Amino acid sequence: MTNPTTAEFPGTVKELRVQEALREALRYEMARDERVFVMGEDVALFGGAYGVTRGLLQEFGEKRVLDTPISEAALVGLGVGAAINGMRPVVEIQFSDLLPLAMDQLASHAARYHYMTGGRVNVPMVVRNKFATRPGGGPSHSSCNHGAFIHFPGLKIIMPTTPADAKGLLLAAIRDPNPVLCFESHHLYGVRGPVPEGDYTVPIGKAAVRRTGKDLTIVTCGGMVLKADAAAEQLKEKGIDIEIVDLRSLAPLDKETILNSVAKTKRAIVLDEGPMIGGISAELAALIQENLFADLKGPVVRIAAQPIPPPHSPPLVDAMIPDVDQVIDAVMRLAEGGGKMR
Amino acid sequence: MLDTAKKKAMLRQMILLRGFEEKLEELYQRKAMFGSTHSYRGQEAIAVGVCSALQSTDLIASYHRGTGHLIAKGADLYTLLCECMGREDGYSKGRGGKMHMGDMGFGFLGNTGTVGGTVPTATGAALSAKVRGSQEVVVSFFGDGAANQGVVHESMNLAGVWKLPVIYVCENNQYAMTVSLEKSVAIKHLSERGAAYGFEGKTIDGNDVVAVYEATEQAAAKGRAGGGATFLECLTYRWDGHFGGDPGTAYRSKEEIEAWKQKCPIKRLKEELIREGQLSDEEFTKTSASIYAELDEVAKRAEAAPLPKKAVDLNSIYAPTEVARD
C-alpha cells in the first residue's frame, strides 16, 4: 500500500505495525490522562487476543487495565456509565461478530445519550473491535459488521488502515466526547509504517486520498484499501490511473473528499468488505449518484461481500469477499462502457 | 432512628410524587402531553426512602417509570414536566420525553425505555467511583421485569466481582407490564439472586418508607466503606395500569388492587405520625393542598411553554469536539 512516507510527518517517527501503533495511542493517553482505562476479555494478563494491550497491565496496574468475564453487553454498558461519570473507558470486544451482543447498549444508549438528554449527558467511550472475513473464522468469528452501525446517529466510527492513522485516530477517539467504535482489520494488524512519536492525532471524519489519479476513484476502507492498491498497481501498467479514497471514518462520513475526488475522475467504484445490502457501499453509491449524476461517465459500481454469512472454508470465503481481479474487471468494464479512460 | 422532621419531609415528598403522577394522568387524558404515562402511584415509598438516604454527591440511574426517582433526587418540577410535555424547556429539550433524560447536575445518570438498560449504566458509574477513589454510591432503580434481562445479570456479576459501591433497588411491583412475577421466575424472592453474585440480597416492604430509608442507609454505608453491592428487593404494587390507557385490570383482580391500596405508603406514614402525635389531619390536608396547588401552577407554566421549532439539527447528535480536552 502507498503508505505515507516518513517525509510527510514532522518530528520524530518510528516504524511500527498497526497493532503496535494502537498500543502506542493507548499508552500515550493513559500516561497523560488518568481517566483513561482499558477493559475487556483477556486484555490485562494476556495482553489482548491480538496483543494490542500487551504490557499495559504492567505499566498502569490492575485498576486501569481490567480483565473481565465474557459479558459484552455489560462491558459496553459499564463503559457508558463510567464515561458519564467522569472516566474515559476503552472497551475491547474481541470480534466484530460479538458487537450485536452489545447492540442495545451501543445503539440505544451510547449513541443516543447526548441527543436524548438535550446535550446534558456525554459518553466519551471507545469500543475497539477486530473485524475481517477470512478463512477459518466462520460465521461467528469473521464478520464485517461495520455497515450495521452507520445506521445509528450519535456513534462515531473509525477504521484505521495505516499505522500512523491507527495511532492518530485512536488517540483522537479517546479524547472525543462521543462514543467511538474503532474497527481494526485483522488484515492490517501486521502492516508496518512510520508513526509520529508523541502527541499525534488524526481528525475523525476526514478521509485520506491514498493514491492520486485522474481516471477513476475507488472509495474504500479497512483491509480493502490493500486490494484497491494492488488493483491500481496492475491497472497502472495498462495505462489507467486510479485514485483511492480511504474513508478512515465511516461516521461522520467525509462527503467532501469523496465527492471532490469523483467530481475530478468522473468514474467511481465503491469497494467494501462488508455485505453489500444496506451497507456502507450502498450509502456511498447513493451519495455519489445523488450529487454527481450528471458528471458521471458511467454507473457507480459497487463491489462488496456477497450477502451470505461468512463461511469457514477458504474457497467459500474467496467467493464471498471482493478480490483484486474483481476490481480490475470492474474498472475495465467501466472503461469500455464509458469510452476510453482519457 | 429517623427524626420527625425527616419523616415529615418524606411524607411531603411522597405526596408530591403522587400529585405529579396524577397531574400527568390529567394532562394525558386531555391530550396535553405526548406519548404515554407510566404511573408511579403506589410505589412512592421506594423513590423517597432511597433518595432521602443518599447524599447529594450520590448518583441514580432510572427507567421508564422514572419521574418519581427524579423528583425524589432533586429534579426541577417545571423542567421535568416540560420534558414530559415535549417542551423546549424540558430536561432534554423535548428530544427524549419522560423516558429519556439525564442530568449530572443532580446526580442523575439517565433513564431509558429499554427495560434493564440502565443497570449497566449505574454499575459503570460505580466502577468509576471506585477507580477514582471517590465516596459516591450509585443506585440502580429497576423493576421486577428488568430482573430477567441478560445485561442485568452481567452487570450484577461484575459488581460482585469488583465489589462496586452500587445498590440495586428492584421495585418488585409484581407485574412486568401484564405478565406476573410467578410466570417469570421460579424463585420466591428476587433478592435471592444477590447471593449468586456474591453480595447481600434483602427483601423489604417497599411500601414502608422508613424501612426503605434504613435499608438504603445501611447499603450506602457498606458501599462507601468498600463493602460492595447490595440487592434490595422492595415489594410494592403499582396502583394504575402499566401505561396511561391501561386500566390494569385485564391481568389483575380488582380485589388485589384494592388490597394493595389499603397498604398505601402515604397513608401508612401519615397514620404513624398522627399516632405519634406529630401530625394532625388538618396539617396533612393543608400540606397536600399546597403541594397540589404548586403542581397546578407548574403545569400551567409548562403548558404555556413553547414546543421546539420544527427543525432538524444535525449537529445535535454529537457533543462538540472542542470540549474534549479536559
Q: List average pLDDT for each run of 10 residues in chain A, which is 342 residues long.
A: 59 96 98 98 96 98 97 98 98 97 98 98 98 94 96 97 98 98 97 96 98 97 97 96 98 98 98 95 98 96 96 97 97 76 60
CATH 3.40.50.920 domain span(s) along chain A = 208-337
CB A131, CB A224: distance < 8 Å: no
User: Could you read off the pLDDT of B206-236 as tens digits, one per residue?
Assistant: 999 999 999 999 999 999 999 999 999 999 9
DSSP string over A236-292: HHTT--EEEEE-SEEES--HHHHHHHHHHH--EEEEEEEESTTSHHHHHHHHHHHHH
Q: At how many degrees (to 10) do helices B4-29 and B209-224 cross?
A: 110
| Interchain CB contact of B119 with A (< 8 Å) | yes
Bridge partner list, A211:
A244
How far does A203 lie from chain B, in Å, by closest CA? 10
Interface contact A198, partner B, CB < 8 A: no
Intervals of CATH 3.40.50.970 along chain A: 13-196
Domain A13-196 has CATH 3.40.50.970: yes
Cα torsion at B286, B291, B296, B299 (round to 10°)? 180
Query: Is residue B19 scored above 60 in pLDDT?
Result: yes
* All cell numbers assigned to B219: 447499603
Instruction: Write out the CATH class of domain A208-337.
Output: alpha beta
For chain A, say whether B95 makes contact (Cβ under 8 Å): yes
Tell me: the pLDDT tens digits for B89-147?
999 999 999 999 999 999 999 999 999 999 999 999 999 999 999 999 999 999 999 99
B3 pLDDT higher than 50: yes
pLDDT band at B244 (very low <50, low <70, confident <90, very high): confident
Read off the pLDDT of each residue in B171-181 and give the average, rounded to a whole number: 94
What lies within 8 Å, CB to CB, of B15 at 6+ separation is: B266, B287, B288, B291
**Within the 10-69 window of chain A, which residues sit less than 8 Å (CB to CB) from chain B?**
33, 37, 63-64, 68-69
Q: What is the model's pLDDT at position A338?
A: 53
Q: What confidence score (pLDDT) does residue B325 get?
A: 46
Domains of chain B from N-terminus onward: 4-302 (3.40.50.970)
The pLDDT of residue B245: 85
Q: Give the closest of A80, A122, A154 to B121, CB-based.
A: A80
Q: Does B166 touch chain A (CB under 8 A)?
A: no
Please name the residues in contact with A251: beta carbons below 8 A apart, sequence gap of 6 or more. Answer: A149, A150, A155, A156, A157
The pLDDT value recorded for residue B324 is 46
